[in-house]
Structure 1
């Protein structure tokens, strides 16, 4: 999710499309939060690990 968000963020910045930039930024933030929570051992959506 972080990689997809970064790709969309870069494409949005290069192409000047604000929608792609916004969606990419949101995906990066959500992916980072899920990664941190999963790394600390918190269950996310009933799963011990989020991949």
Structure 2
């Protein structure tokens, strides 16, 4: 999932440089959502691993 976040971030940067504002905003929004989903899943994974070891 982090890979998709980076892909959308790169697409947003390239679109922004080329002047495609709408596409850049959309790709950046998707990248932001995927990043936060990744963070939540990562934290849940750490918590479940910590509980499983006890």
Structure 2 spans left out of the alignment, 5+ residues: 17-23, 50-54
Asked whether 1:18 is paired with 2:51, we answer no
Structure 1 stretches of at least 4 aligned residues deviating more than 6 Å after TM superposition: none
Larger Rg: 2
RMSD: 1.6
Q: State the aligned residue count.
A: 42
Unaligned runs of 5+ in 1: 43-51
Which has the higher relative contact order, 1 or 2, with Cα contacts under 8 A spaced 6 or more apart? 2
1:20 CA drift (Å): 0.4
Higher helix share: 2
- In 2, distance between residues paired with 1:13 and 1:29? 19
| TM-score normalised to structure 1 length | 0.67
